[in-house]
Structures are given as structure tokens and as C-alpha cells.
């Protein structure tokens, strides 16, 4: 009798230790968090947050729950936001009104940038220049030009950079992307996405309207509504959803036709309160990796050229501030099925196809299988012609993991630790997303269709 060879227990990955996987947690009952040391005894990642408004505070709260993250400092030039965020950040975090002083004095290993859009380039660029890894909220930059420069700067500096497009960290979207890639939906032919809400998208200003400071504070706190600071609905909401499309298609659109305006909330805002876009993507005939250009010559023998020609997929996108009926969702439509995606739930509906004939249902074990068909005299069964009646029960895709904002930060810090620039949404992806949404804004302004720059 031979003793079976003993296999050493697999070493847990840092992903598991950082909390991405709970499956291995049982083995780590004795793992002490109190040392505040990072996973596998490494120094914790010294992290700072720049911009501590609403989103910045959410990110701070998430960071303070991640083992191996040492939140060393936060910065904001608006004292009420800084004071409020200080409570979420904890007493160990130093407070700064000037982010450049923070970078200089604290020398964090990583910063999370959650300032208004028009400052992304400046703050993220300064951080990269200071040798710091950066997590930058979406949209990556205020202009395509800035995004291009920042992506180049990140590449040259070889820093870890991640854009806060957290659907990439969401298990529902990851599952959906895998389904699209595997061809479960057949050939993708259309996408319909929207973010519809019914509110004025304003934040309260803490001084009365007549006060001398009102106008300054209104523009500072409601920066999303003013064109000097924001790209409005496209950069604040659309960027998430068009990134989903870019990600799943592995490409950016060629062209966009868009229109929008300030038609309901006429309260002095400068950005549209409703936008409608049609994007045109060019995809290879089946969803999946784009065909290898070197293989094209070989495949001409026998394959009709038309079947290799890229085809156009049109993506409609709208965002409203005065009707919330459809909420925020993406509908990815393919010849074999439809994916309905939201952050909390995914649904997959199989298409009823003409060749989906239910012959087998008529065949029975007791010899009925011998008949080509079986009829029953009497009234004909009445079925609705409406396609809605035949969608069947959807396959449900649930989020079983947790919060995608926390998970995207866990992933980012893991990449920082490992010095791995291949984050779930790197600067190049951020640049593509920026070009996608900003070209729509330009098309709205110019009242025309525009080519999306090939970035």
C-alpha cells in the first residue's frame, strides 16, 4: 500500500485575502485584522482620497472597510465636505484643503480622485506625476484631449490607474459579458440603454438665495449642472452604461447622432435635462473577439466575403430627469436572446425562434412518439400572437457577492499592491469611454452626426 502523495494546501491569492472571495474565509478564522497589516504580512496600501463630496464620502466609507488599506489623508477645498468626510475617514486620516500639499507631505501610495469632472485631469495628472497610483472617478476627463494626455502619461509612468466604472466589478455585468462573448445571445443586433429619473438633480445650497455667496456655492455644489465643470447627463450617468457597451463589444462606436436640451428644469442649469443618442458600432459578424486580420486571407477560400464584413449595431441611449418609469438599465438584444441588466438584477430572455418547434412535446413514452403529429378534436387551443406572451420565464442573474463600489476598490488596491497596471478599467478604457460620451455632447451642440475619434 502506498501513501498518497500529500498535496500542499493551495496558497490563497491576495484577491481572496483582500476579501474578494468569501469562499476561503473559513480557513482564515484566525486571521487577525487588528494588526492593520495588509494581507500576507505586507505593508498596508497608504491611500488618500481627494474630493470628499457625496461620491468621495461613499468611497471613503468603502475604503475603511477594506483590510490592507490604510486611509492616511483626505483633501477637499470645501470645508463642510471635508469636515463631514472626516467622520467617515476616522481620526488617523489627515485633513487637507489643498490636494497638492497632501501629495507632497503624505506621499500616499494610491489616491482616489472624486473631484468634479473638470478637475480630474489636473488632480489625477498631478498624482501620477508625483509617482502615485490613481483611482479616478468616471468620466475620466473633461475633454478627449485631456483624456488622451492622461492615458499617455499613465502609460509612460507605468502607474496603476483605474477609472471608477464599477459595473465592471459587478458580478451581474461580468456574467453578462461572458454570455455575450460566448455567443449565448447570438449575434448582437441592438442595444437600448437609458437612465431615467424624476428629480431635479440638484443639491441644496446651505445659504439663502439672496446671500452674497449663493451664486458661488450654487456653482460649486451643483457643478454637475454647469458646462464649465461637467458634461451633464452623458458624463455623470451615460458614461457608466456606454462603458458597459464598449466593454461587451470590445470596441468603441464609430459614429453618434444625438439631440437634447433643457426642456423641463429651466432653473438656470446649462446641461441638458434630457438627451437622446444613437451610437453606431461596427462589429464582426458574431459577438466575440474581433477576427484576426491575418486570418482574413486564409478564410477567403470558401467563405463569402459578405459574411466577414463588419456589420453595424445601433445603440440607443437616453437620459431623462422628469420620468423615472424605465429607470436605469441596459437591454442587449441578440438574435437568440435578450439581456436586461441593472446593478442589482440581470434577466436573460431566450428568443422564441421560428425553428423552435415543439414537436417533442407531442411525443410520449407510451408509443406516441411514433406519430408525426397528434391531434385532438374539439376547440382549437387559443394562444396569443403577442410576442410578450411567449417570452417565457427569464433566467435570473443575481448579485451574490456584494457591493460593486467596494469590490472595484478592493480590486484597485490589489493591483496597486502587485504593481499590476492591468486594472478592470484602465486609463485606455477610460479614454475610450470619455471619447464615447463627449462626442455625443458635441453632436448635441452641433446638431449633427459625428464620428467618434478612434482613440
The piece of 197-205, 246-254, 410-418, 425-433 that touches other proteins (CB under 8 A) is 197-205
User: Distance (Å, rounded) from C-alpha 144 to C-alpha 142?
Assistant: 7
What is the rounded (10 degree) CA torsion for 81, 82, 87, 88?
Answer: 80
The correct pick among 208, 298, 370, 422 for binding other proteins (CB under 8 A) is 208
Q: Is 216 in the site for other proteins (CB under 8 A)?
A: no
Sign of the alpha-carbon dihedral angle for 272, 437, 141, 139: positive
User: Distance (Å, rounded) from C-alpha 65 to C-alpha 4?
Assistant: 42
The correct pick among 48, 66, 119, 163 for binding other proteins (CB under 8 A) is 66
Contacts (CB under 8 A) with other proteins, residues 402-421 = 402-404
H or E stretch at 289: none
The piece of 187-195, 292-300, 304-312, 400-408 that touches other proteins (CB under 8 A) is 400-408
The correct pick among 206, 261, 327, 392 for binding other proteins (CB under 8 A) is 206
Size of the site for other proteins (CB under 8 A): 38
Q: Is 255 in the site for other proteins (CB under 8 A)?
A: no
Least distance between other proteins and beta carbon 335 (Å): 32
Sign of the alpha-carbon dihedral angle for 221, 225, 230, 235: positive
Q: Are strands 395-398 and 188-196 parallel, antiparallel or unpaired?
A: unpaired
The correct pick among 59, 89, 193, 438 for binding other proteins (CB under 8 A) is 89
Q: With DSSP H G I counted as helix, E B as strand and the rest as coil, what are the percentages for the chain, rounded to 5?
A: 35, 20, 45
The piece of 135-143, 177-185, 254-262, 401-409 that touches other proteins (CB under 8 A) is 401-409
Number of Cα atoms under 13 Å in the Cβ half of residue 39: 20
Binding pattern to other proteins, positions 18-37, x when CB under 8 A?
----x--xx-xx-xxxx---
Q: Is 217 in the site for other proteins (CB under 8 A)?
A: no
244: nearest Cα among 327, 329, 187, 160: 329
The piece of 42-50, 62-70, 269-277, 293-301 that touches other proteins (CB under 8 A) is 62-70
The correct pick among 15, 192, 203, 219 for binding other proteins (CB under 8 A) is 203
Non-local (6+) Cβ contacts of 73 within 8 A are 48, 49, 93, 94, 95, 96, 102, 106, 108
Q: Is 13 in the site for other proteins (CB under 8 A)?
A: no
- Residue 18 or 127: the one with the smaller Cβ distance to other proteins is 18
The correct pick among 47, 399, 411, 434 for binding other proteins (CB under 8 A) is 399
Cβ atoms < 10 Å from Cβ of 149: 15
User: Distance (Å, rounded) from C-alpha 20 to C-alpha 174?
Assistant: 14
The piece of 137-145, 205-213, 298-306, 436-444 that touches other proteins (CB under 8 A) is 205-213
Per-residue cell: 241: 452604461
Q: Is 41 in the site for other proteins (CB under 8 A)?
A: no
Q: Is 47 in the site for other proteins (CB under 8 A)?
A: no
Per-residue cell: 139: 468620466
The correct pick among 209, 379, 382, 454 for binding other proteins (CB under 8 A) is 209
Asked if residue 139 has a cis previous peptide bond (ω within 30° of 0), the answer is: yes
- Residue 158 or 266: the one with the smaller Cβ distance to other proteins is 266
Question: Are 126 and 148 within 8 A, CB to CB?
Answer: no
Per-residue cell: 64: 475603511
Q: What is the DSSP letter of 235?
A: I
User: Distance (Å, rounded) from C-alpha 423 to C-alpha 110?
Assistant: 14
- Residue 87 or 352: the one with the smaller Cβ distance to other proteins is 87
Q: Is 92 in the site for other proteins (CB under 8 A)?
A: no
The correct pick among 90, 131, 327, 369 for binding other proteins (CB under 8 A) is 90
User: Distance (Å, rounded) from C-alpha 179 to C-alpha 182?
Assistant: 5
The piece of 83-91, 95-103, 248-256, 439-447 that touches other proteins (CB under 8 A) is 83-91
Residue with cell 489625477: 124
The correct pick among 384, 400, 422, 454 for binding other proteins (CB under 8 A) is 400
User: Distance (Å, rounded) from C-alpha 205 to C-alpha 321?
Assistant: 20
Contacts (CB under 8 A) with other proteins, residues 135-194 = none
- Residue 200 or 259: the one with the smaller Cβ distance to other proteins is 200
> What residues line the site for other proteins (CB under 8 A)?
22, 25-26, 28-29, 31-34, 61-62, 64-67, 80, 87-90, 199-200, 202-206, 208-209, 267, 344, 398-404
Amino acid at each position: 500500500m502506498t501513501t498518497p502523495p500529500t498535496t500542499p494546501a493551495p496558497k490563497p491569492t491576495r484577491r481572496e485575502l483582500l476579501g474578494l472571495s468569501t469562499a476561503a474565509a473559513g480557513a482564515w478564522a484566525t486571521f487577525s485584522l487588528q494588526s492593520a497589516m495588509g494581507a500576507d504580512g505586507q505593508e498596508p496600501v497608504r491611500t488618500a482620497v481627494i474630493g470628499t463630496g457625496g461620491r468621495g464620502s461613499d468611497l471613503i466609507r468603502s475604503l475603511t472597510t477594506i483590510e490592507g488599506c490604510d486611509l492616511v489623508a483626505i483633501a477637499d477645498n470645501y470645508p463642510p465636505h471635508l469636515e463631514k468626510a472626516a467622520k467617515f475617514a476616522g481620526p488617523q486620516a489627515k485633513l487637507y484643503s489643498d490636494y497638492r500639499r497632501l501629495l507632497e507631505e503624505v506621499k500616499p501610495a494610491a489616491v482616489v480622485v472624486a473631484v468634479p469632472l473638470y478637475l480630474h485631469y489636473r488632480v489625477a495628472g498631478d498624482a501620477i506625476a508625483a509617482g502615485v497610483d490613481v483611482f479616478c472617478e468616471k468620466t475620466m476627463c473633461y475633454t478627449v484631449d485631456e483624456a488622451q494626455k492622461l492615458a499617455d502619461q499613465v502609460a509612460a509612468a507605468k502607474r496603476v490607474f483605474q477609472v471608477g466604472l464599477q459595473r465592471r466589478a459587478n458580478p451581474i455585468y461580468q456574467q453578462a459579458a461572458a454570455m455575450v462573448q460566448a455567443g449565448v445571445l447570438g449575434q448582437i443586433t441592438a442595444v437600448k440603454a437609458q437612465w431615467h429619473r424624476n428629480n431635479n438633480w440638484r443639491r441644496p445650497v446651505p445659504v439663502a438665495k439672496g446671500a452674497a455667496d449663493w451664486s458661488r456655492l450654487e456653482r460649486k455644489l451643483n457643478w454637475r449642472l454647469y458646462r464649465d465643470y461637467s458634461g451633464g447627463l452623458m458624463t455623470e450617468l451615460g458614461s457608466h452604461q456606454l462603458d458597459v457597451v464598449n466593454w461587451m463589444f470590445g470596441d468603441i462606436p464609430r459614429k453618434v447622432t444625438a439631440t437634447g436640451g433643457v426642456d423641463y428644469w429651466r432653473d438656470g442649469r446649462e446641461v441638458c435635462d434630457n438627451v437622446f443618442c444613437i451610437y453606431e458600432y461596427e462589429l464582426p459578424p458574431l459577438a466575440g473577439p474581433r477576427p484576426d486580420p491575418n486570418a482574413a486571407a486564409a478564410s477567403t477560400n470558401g467563405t463569402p466575403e459578405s459574411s466577414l464584413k463588419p456589420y453595424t449595431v445601433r445603440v440607443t441611449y437616453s437620459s431623462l430627469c422628469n420620468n423615472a418609469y424605465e429607470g436605469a438599465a441596459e437591454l442587449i438584444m441578440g438574435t437568440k436572446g435578450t439581456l436586461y441588466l441593472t446593478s442589482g438584477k440581470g434577466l436573460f430572455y431566450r428568443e422564441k425562434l421560428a425553428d423552435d418547434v415543439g414537436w417533442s412535446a407531442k411525443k410520449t413514452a407510451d408509443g406516441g412518439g411514433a406519430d408525426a403529429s397528434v391531434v385532438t378534436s374539439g376547440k382549437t387551443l387559443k394562444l396569443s400572437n403577442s410576442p410578450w406572451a411567449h417570452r417565457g420565464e427569464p433566467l435570473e442573474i443575481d448579485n451574490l457577492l456584494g457591493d460593486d463600489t467596494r469590490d472595484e476598490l478592493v480590486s484597485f488596491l490589489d493591483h496597486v499592491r502587485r504593481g499590476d497596471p492591468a486594472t478592470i478599467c484602465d486609463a485606455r478604457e477610460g479614454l475610450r469611454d470619455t471619447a464615447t460620451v463627449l462626442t455625443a455632447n458635441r453632436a448635441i451642440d452641433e446638431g449633427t452626426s459625428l464620428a467618434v475619434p478612434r482613440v
